[in-house]
Structure formats: structure tokens, C-alpha cells
Amino acid sequence: MKLYSRLWIGLLSGLFIIVGKSWANPIFPTRLLNNSVAGLTVSVAGTTSWRPFPYYTPSLGEALIIEFDFLGGELVPFSYTLKHYTAQWENSGLAPSEYIKGFISGEITESKLSEATKVSYRHYSLRLDNSAPSQPILSGNYILQIFPANESAENPYLEVAFSLLEPIASIESTVTPITQKESYGGTQQVNLLLKTKELRVTNPIQELTIVVGQNSRHDNAVYLSQPSGITGGQLRYDYNQGALFAAGNEYYAYEILNDNISGMGIDRLVSTSNATQLLLYPQSQRSQTSYLFNQDADGQYVIRSIETGGTSDVNTDYYEVFFYYYAPPLHNNEQLYLFGEAFDALPMEERKLTYDANLGAYTGQVFLKGGYVSFTYLSSSDNLSFSGEQTEGNFYPTSNLYTSFVYYRPQGARYDRLVGVDTIRYNHQQ
């Protein structure tokens, strides 16, 4: 994990479950594919709420804002192109002319050079709205590929996954620790009530796909297809047909707003010629301890600083962040990884911590832009499925953010429409 080295060793994979089916595709598979690109954020103009899986509703005046940095500060013209995907994040097979309004590719014209930062970079911003030169017009899933204008689109520097919503279906979701597996143990279940009168659904198993995601995790989404009950235009997904999740534990966090002050979660700062180093307070294995409530942010990443004379996008510096996790070696040859919005687009090798027998701890180093970082530690033996069973434990009172997506493909249709989204935060303390 050197300062500017990011070796792409393979596609990030996850295992997702649907009744009778499975896919090896992560949901919203945003990826950084070039070691010169960092600081990626995707937000929605027109709302103040955090959307860990970015979606926007043009009909409500919302716009998608994509921002990233090109390290070194060189002015490089970037272009972008769009691809449409199915509910399972496979290529939909539609022609670009069917889902794009305007040009097949567009230019990213907004950029600013960093100011008063130790690490130099150029900040780029793209606003995807009804005035963009190339914009999506069909609802559903998309991947936006960004590449230098003088290079091939076949070799993008980054890929940004998002969804376009046409709000037709109504969703009411609830979260309960009384699950199909146990009551008040280590799991939580999301139950849904879906109102579909405007959709005229005749066969919900074939026409509807429901995807439920937890916090900002792309690896453990649950796919639902079989409703537990149908009454008129209402479908219920509960009891044995609800979305079952491991409850996990509260996230950790650190914050750096200034090079001269050790913020929350930071033990000390070390100044070097390349970038300031952040040595975080160590964490310890919690799977064998009792649950302790701690208000967390479920993996959210907020880039910001308190430097004056500019804005956070160009005045926030980059840091080498050192993580320490005290635990014995994991069983079953499992490896330890960082999870959270700040890490989701990074190659798995860069998120991996290695065991130091002398320290009796796992250590890792990641190059990140400053601000507020919420994170956790999960382990895996195959890079397909990840778990906190050995590291953080699973406790039913844990606060979690759940996002449910409803896709609709009527008989004879050629693509999955995104017709409903609902978000609910479970907090057992309230």
C-alpha cells in the first residue's frame, strides 16, 4: 500500500442470495482503476440525506454529483460514457441510443487545482442532470466510466455505479431482531410492504426483483423474489421471506480536519516530506465482548477540513493512515479487510491488513483524503463473502442503515426499471 501504488489484482466480488438463485456480482460496483485517481465521492444534489448506494430522481429535480482527484495536479481532459445494467448488475444489452439522451460520451469540464496542500492534486466535478451533454433517460442501474479524453474508453480510470429512479411503487420497511433464524441474537431482518397498484404486476416472482443493502456494504446484499403474502396491490415480504442480515457491530471512526491537530480517533501525527501520517488509536477484537452502544455513521465518508480561504474539495489534504487491530491470527486462513465508504472503491489488496506477530496485531496503511471516516473490519477466506463473526461480532441492538430497491420488468420488457427505493435506520436504543 505505497503512497501512489495501487495494483489492480482482480474484480471485487461478493455473494448475494435470492430465493433459489445466486449472483457473484456486488451491488453498485464502483471502482478506482488507476493509481493516479483518488478522493472519489458521489452525492445527490437536492437532498441532504446520505445515500450509501447512490440513486437520484431527475423528475424531482435531483442531480448526481461525481467528484474525484487526479494526483499530481496535471490538467488532464476527462470524458465519460454510460452503460445500462440489470437489477443483478449485469450488462442489460441495450444500445446506448436507447438509454442515453445527447452524445454517446460527454466531457468533464469542471476542474480546480488544490490549494495549500502538501499533496498536490486537481479536483474534477461532474454534474449529471437534465443539462448534461450525455445523460441517462431510462430508470435502472448504470455504470459511468471516466477516462482521459485522448485515451480509449475501454481502459477507464474509474467506474461509478448509480441508479436512476422513477418513483412509482411505494415501499414501507421495518427492521426487527425477531428473525427467521432467532430472536434477539446476532441477526436483524428487514420486512417490506410493497404497494404496486400502478405497476399492474401479474407475476411478482418473475416481474419484480427486490434488493436490500446494509450500510454501504456491496458484498452482502439480499435479493428477494417470493412474497409471503399478496393482498390486492400489496405484497408482503416478511417471516421466512424477509431479508436476513448479520447484525454486526457499531463502526469505528476517525476525523482529521487540520495537519496540526490530532482529531478524533488519532493517536498522533507524523509529518513527512510526502504526506502527513496519521497513526490511529488501535482497535481490538470485539467478537467475544459484550455489546456497547456507540453512536456511529454506518460507514459514511465525509471529505472536509477547517482550512480557510477555499472549499473542502481543494483545501483538504491527503494522508497516509495507519490502522492497528489487536487480535490473534484469524481461523480458516481468513484475511482481514477494511470496510466503509472510504474504502469501497479500492482494490481489495489495498484494503487488506497483514498480521504482525511481534505486535500481536493486524496492521495496514491506506492513502486517503482528510475528513470524517467511518469504518469497520471484516474477514474473508475467499474474497467472495465477508464476515465480522471473528472480528467485531454480531449483536442485535447494533444500529444499521438499510436501503431497499424495487426493480420491475413486466412480461416482454427488455430491461429492469427501478420503481421504488426506501431507506430505514434501525436503532434499538430508540
- Please give the pLDDT value at position 18: 37
In a domain, 7, yes or no: no
Q: What share of the chain is helix, strand, coil (3-state, %, to 5)?
A: 5, 45, 50
pLDDT digits over 87-134, tens only?
999 999 999 999 999 999 999 999 999 999 999 999 999 999 999 999
89 and 151 share a domain? yes
What's the pLDDT score for residue 25?
Answer: 86
Q: Do residues 418 and 407 touch, judged by C-beta distance below 8 A?
A: yes
At residue 9, does pLDDT exceed 50?
no
Say yes or no: 223 and 236 in one domain. yes
pLDDT at 333: 92
- pLDDT for the residue numbered 14: 36
**pLDDT tens, residue by residue, 375-427:** 999 999 998 899 999 999 999 999 999 999 999 999 999 999 999 999 999 98
Domain count for the chain: 3
51 assigned to some structural domain? yes
pLDDT for position 197: 82
Domain ends where: 114, 146, 164? 164
Question: For residue 183, what are the domain limits?
Answer: 170-247+398-426
Residue 206 lies in a domain: yes
CATH of residue 122's domain is: 2.60.40
Residues 275 and 176 in one domain: no
**Residue 23: predicted pLDDT:** 53
Claim to verify: residue 139 and residue 175 sit in the same structural domain: no
Residue 10 has pLDDT above 50, yes or no: no
Q: Which residue has the cell 474534477?
A: 124
Last residue of a domain, one of 164, 195, 213: 164
Do 41 and 140 reside in the same domain of the chain? yes
Question: Does the residue 76 lie in any domain?
Answer: yes
Residue 335 CB burial class (10 angstroms; 0-12, 13-18, ≥19): buried
pLDDT at residue 430, as a whole number: 59
The reported pLDDT for the residue numbered 265 is 98
Residue 145 and residue 63 in one domain: yes
Q: 428 with 177: CB under 8 angstroms?
A: yes
What proportion of the chain, given as a percentage, has pLDDT over 70?
93
Q: Is residue 17 part of a domain?
A: no
- Whether residue 12 is predicted with pLDDT greater than 90 in this model: the reply is no
Average pLDDT, the chain: 92
Whether residues 142 and 49 share a domain: the answer is yes
Rounded CA separation 158/419 (Å): 27
Is residue 61 located within the same domain as residue 92? yes
pLDDT at 20: 32
Residue spans of alpha helices (H) in 262-391? 312-315, 348-351
Predicted confidence (pLDDT) at residue 203 exceeds the cutoff of 90: yes
Residues 236 and 333 in one domain: no
User: pLDDT tens digits, residue range 130-170?
Assistant: 999 999 999 999 999 999 999 999 999 999 999 999 999 99
Do 64 and 137 share a structural domain?
yes
Same domain, 135 and 187: no
Q: Residue 200 — very low, low, confident or very high, per pLDDT cuts 50/70/90?
A: confident
The H-or-E segment that residue 98 falls in is helix 96-99
- Cell numbers given for 124: 474534477
The answer to whether residue 388 is domain-embedded is no
**C-alpha to C-alpha distances, 212 to 148, 215, 223, 282, nearest whole angstrom:** 35, 10, 7, 32
Task: Classify residue 357: in a domain, yes or no.
Answer: yes
Confidence of residue 6 (pLDDT cuts 50, 70, 90): very low
Task: Give the CA distances from residue 90 to residues 16, 66, 86, 157, in Å, rounded to whole numbers and listed in that order.
Answer: 13, 22, 5, 20
CATH number, domain with residue 406: 2.60.40.10
Query: Would the pLDDT of 74 be above 90?
Result: yes
Residue 191 falls inside a structural domain: yes
Quick one: 225 and 257 in the same domain? no
Task: For residues 396 and 176, give the distance between their C-alpha atoms in angstroms, rounded to a whole number.
Answer: 9
Q: How high is the pLDDT of residue 24?
A: 56
The C-alpha atoms of residue 254 and residue 262 are separated, in whole angstroms, by 10
For residue 62, give the C-alpha cell.
Answer: 435531483
- What percentage of the chain has pLDDT greater than the value 90? 86
Answer with the one of 111, 136, 164 that is the final residue of a domain.
Answer: 164
